[in-house]
Amino acid sequence: MMNSKLLIAPSILSANFARLGEEINSAMKAGADWVHFDVMDNHYVPNLTIGPMVCKSLRDDGIKDFIDVHLMIQPVNDLAKSFAEAGADLISFHPEAVENIHETIELIKSFGCKVGIAINPDTPLTVLEGIIQDIDLILLMSVYPGFGGQTFIESTIEKIHAAKKLIESQSHHIFLEVDGGINHETIGKVAAAGANVFVAGSAIFGSADYAETIQDFRQKIS
């Protein structure tokens, strides 16, 4: 599934929630690939966003696109189950937020979802030791989680290079996703470093023309 393609995942956190379904359909028709959910609980991170009801509502409304859920919450397991039941395709979580990483990975897989590990700017890649063989995606945060519209942390580029080397040592495909400060100025160097999934919120939903923005992104990462 889309293993060799460079994927653009608009973060709905920056969309107009008064007409969310329409916003998502517009972004997908404009050339986006995944729908990215930023789920925050005002506990693990200092912001409160959306729950599984939003995911279910979008599925019920006919949205069939790939839904990529990033859980910035603690605890994880119960809401991971709820998002899986609501129609998520991939669920990422922060290892610091769970008691047993292996148990949560297997739980998410048991619901038929792909599973990702989200890594904060200050978290070393060594957190992947012993689990990288069991996951489908590495999500590198290029800002501190909690709010949209932040500035890209430049040291993330080196981390992307290192994560790509780890992925290349594995026998199965692992997506390398980057989230935070992705825009016209940063997406090219993030792609050059080895990322293949790009989460962009305000850069897409804050633009006047989604198709033009996504087309420009494609040119910069090709």
- Delineate the domains of the chain, giving CATH numbers in brackets: 7-221 (3.20.20.70)
Instruction: Give the whole-number percent of the chain exceeding pLDDT 70.
Output: 98
Mean per-residue pLDDT for 171-196? Answer: 97
27-48: pLDDT as tens digits: 999 999 999 999 999 999 999 9
Please report the pLDDT score of residue 1 as a whole number: 43
Per-residue confidence (pLDDT) for residue 184, from 0 to 100: 97
Cα–Cα dist 66/44, whole Å: 25
CA dihedral defined by 179, 185, 187, 189, rounded to 10 degrees? -110
Q: What does the pLDDT average to over 84-99?
A: 98
Catalytic residue among 33, 38, 41, 136: 38
Q: What is the mean pLDDT of residues 74-95?
A: 98
**Whole-structure pTM over 0.95, yes or no?**
yes
Tell me the pLDDT band of 4, cut-offs 50, 70 and 90: low
Mean pLDDT, residues 181-201 taken together: 97
List the catalytic residue out of 41, 68, 136, 179. 179
**What integer is the mean pLDDT of 106-135?**
98
Q: CA-CA distance, 117 to 141, in Å (whole number)? A: 11
Q: First CA to last CA across the chain, in angstroms?
A: 19
Average pLDDT for 89-96:
98
Query: Would you call 136 a catalytic residue per the annotation?
Result: no
In this predicted structure, the answer to whether residue 147 has a pLDDT above a threshold of 90 is no
The SS3 call for residue 65 is coil
Residue 98 clears pLDDT 60, i.e. is over it:
yes
Q: What percent of the chain has pLDDT over 90?
A: 95
**C-alpha span between 97 and 26 (Å, rounded):** 34
pLDDT digits (tens, 9 = 90+) for 7-32: 999 999 999 999 999 999 999 999 99
Q: Mean pLDDT throughout 140-145?
A: 96
pLDDT averaged over the chain? 96
pLDDT, residue 150, reads 83
What DSSP designation does 126 have? Answer: G
d(Cα 85, Cα 214) in Å, to the nearest integer? 30
* 179 is known as an active-site residue: yes
